A and B are shown apart, each in its own frame.
Chain A
Amino acid sequence: AFPKRVKVVEVGPRDGLQNEKNVVPTAVKINLINMLSETGLQVIEATSFVSPKWVPQMADHTEVMQGINKLPGISYPVLTPNLKGFQAAVAAGAKEVSIFGAASELFTKKNINCSIEESLERFDEVMAAARAASIPVRGYVSCVLGCPYEGKISAAKVAEVSKKMYSMGCYEISLGDTIGIGTPGSMKEMLTAVMKEVPVGALAVHCHDTYGQALANILVALQMGVSVVDASVAGLGGCPYAQGASGNVATEDLVYMLNGLGIHTGVDLQKLMDTGTFICNALNRRTNSKVSQASCRL
């Protein structure tokens, strides 16, 4: 049986835009988030308090955080890679933060130049500061169904890292199929292992559609009781590991499926599509959402 309600976590403004080639003006980012706030989405990942040297797209994090309309009942988490970022985020008005771990040693080394163990130790400081400030922390685990460098990733490893992050105090663990190679088979195997260590109510899935498998993978996760799903409006965000390939699953396509299953999301699909149209025009690109593609011509 499927969950009756699913919380959709919108990652377009952060994960989506971060992986788009064109740098988006601050005003456009703010308008995007404001439009998303009108769709019924309860969680919108706004930006990343990372050094602009590393991620130029997110250089305006403070302006974005201060510039958006923060509607009551909506959460606007931001990424914080370290204590400095956390402090800057809180100073800019953030009320929820996210930290990023990975289930692959090689990925962690290439990405942030340290081991998984070391990366989690760095977050100890963030966790302590967050606890002191009563700021909830969401934990991401990357490469849960495969790694661009290591290839296959064991389900046990994903469970181990997830457990660590949950024990550190993350209220939710978002399991990311970073390169989209997972299938319903590997999703099931991975979730079975993770659910032994982390309660299913604290789990989310973050599927990439690089191999077209995202909705099928999400379906399996729902069947296993997961009720939080990450997605990106218009499927913003390519895959940095496969040039020209797609990345995030499109929020419109996800909501279409959930609507068809009679699962409540609170999201207005038409308003979501309108938001997707806005950002695609601003980015001068076509949407990655099939629902959007089909609907605009009917």
Chain B
Amino acid sequence: QESQASGLPEYIKIVEVGPRDGLQNEKVIVPTDIKIELINRLSKTGLPAIEVTSFVSSKWVPQMADHKEVMRGIERHPGVQYPVLTPNLQGFHSAIAAGATEVSVFGAASESFSKMNINCSIEESIEKFEEIAKSARNMDIPVRGYVSCALGCPYEGNIIPAKVAEVSKRLYSMGCYEISLGDTIGVGTPGSMKRMLEAVMKEIPLSALAVHCHDTYGQALANILTAIQMGVAVVDSSVAGLGGCPYAKGATGNVATEDVIYMLNGLGINTGVNLYTVMETGNFICTALNKKTNSKVAQASFNTGTI
């Protein structure tokens, strides 16, 4: 009722990226059993989608070397999606063999970032993803597309909205059911978020859009609010705000799931997620990682003993 009156979506799907995006950007290598327990706990919070791991070469991403064991080891709760990253066809096949039923591919709106990150141009990366999309289509496996650097690039600086729209459209046309627009270095503000979404919304239906905001400059919640005011109803976040920023040493990265849910609860928007159990899960993984939480809600709640 409250959310309807304000023009905001009634329901928002939260995509939990802590176990993959979060852990991948944490210095400490996490044992397989801890990863599995993290995901199992997250499965009990009501989260509808949990990004489990990445089928990438362990040479590049040692943290994700145990992708097969994690995929096979987790409990699969009915109604919960467990997507995994697949950077190429080989990774895709490996993921399927390990039991994956949804995959994600990562594009970028910046040529420089694409070159530095995956050593090929945007066009070349799209061609690789098309191979994956084709195989996935044959096997009825849904594919989620990510567009990095949607609001700025660590190498190129400003990124024009038209470029983000172009790359998004390519991913959507090849069959990605959802496009997650990532503010990879967190430089975006409500102004640039609005301009970027306006351009992308000309090419992609609103219902297929998600935002993946980093909180490196403290702008994430304001940017997410802007997106949901424009009708976006899928938001990525990371429990305890796991995952620093690889481009700004010591700075934060992902927005904390707890803080997002707190805001959405306050707006009367349904997420299906139990904030308290997410906080408990955040507490678990931070203890295991021997680090403080990046979630302000968790910081405030555990110190007053109230929620």
Contacts and interface: CB of A to CB of B under 8 A. Distances in A.
Interface of A: 180, 182-186, 188, 209-213, 215-216, 218-220, 239, 241-246, 250, 253, 256-257, 259-262, 289-291, 293-295, 297-298
B278 to A, nearest CB: 14
B248 interface: yes
A220 B6 CA distance: 12
Contacts, number: 122
B219 A293 contact: no
B306 to A, nearest CB: 9
B92 to A, nearest CB: 34
Interface stretch (B73-81, B100-108, B161-169, B291-299): B291-299
B299 A256 contact: no
Contacts of A213: 221, 259, 262-263, 266
Contact of A262 (B2, B191, B221): B191
Contacts of A241: 304
B46 interface: no
Interface of B: 2, 6, 186, 188-192, 215-219, 221-222, 224-226, 245, 247-252, 256, 259, 262-263, 265-268, 295-297, 299-300, 303-304
A244 B297 CA distance: 12
B66 to A, nearest CB: 30
A261 B265 CA distance: 26
Pairs A-B, 7 closest by C-beta atoms: A260-B189, A183-B266, A290-B218, A212-B296, A253-B218, A212-B259, A294-B251
A242 B303 contact: yes
A245 B218 CA distance: 16
29 contacts: A183-B266, A185-B2, A185-B268, A210-B300, A211-B259, A211-B300, A212-B221, A212-B296, A215-B222, A216-B224, A219-B222, A219-B226, A220-B225, A242-B299, A242-B300, A242-B304, A243-B303, A243-B304, A244-B303, A256-B217, A257-B189, A257-B222, A260-B188, A261-B189, A290-B251, A291-B217, A291-B218, A293-B250, A297-B249
A231 to B, nearest CB: 12
B253 to A, nearest CB: 10
Given A183-B263, A290-B217, A212 B297 contact: yes
Given A256-B189, A257-B190, A297-B251, A290 B266 contact: no
A242 B266 CA distance: 20
Nearest to B192: A260
Contacts of B189: 256-257, 259-261
A259 B190 CA distance: 10
A180 B250 CA distance: 25
B191 A245 contact: no
Contacts of B186: 294
A290 B191 contact: no
Nearest to B226: A219
Nearest to A210: B300
A211 B262 contact: yes
B267 A184 contact: yes
Contacts of B262: 183, 211-213
B31 to A, nearest CB: 28
A214 B59 CA distance: 41
A183 B6 CA distance: 14
B303 to A, nearest CB: 5
Contacts of A186: 266
B296 A257 contact: no
B10 to A, nearest CB: 13
A212 B256 contact: yes
B197 to A, nearest CB: 14
Given A185-B2, A185-B266, A294-B245, A215 B218 contact: yes
A244 B299 CA distance: 7
Contacts of A239: 300
A253 B251 CA distance: 14
Contacts of B249: 297
B186 to A, nearest CB: 7
B226 to A, nearest CB: 7
A297 B190 CA distance: 24
A185 B267 contact: yes
Contact of A246 (B215, B216, B251, B299): B299
A209 B263 contact: no
B293 to A, nearest CB: 11
Contacts of A293: 248, 250-252
A45 to B, nearest CB: 22
Contact of B299 (A184, A245, A261): A245
B191 A261 contact: yes
A237 B64 CA distance: 39
Contacts of B2: 185
Contacts of A243: 303-304
Nearest to B241: A212
A293 B252 CA distance: 8
A72 B248 CA distance: 38
A294 B225 contact: no
A233 to B, nearest CB: 14
A184 B265 CA distance: 10
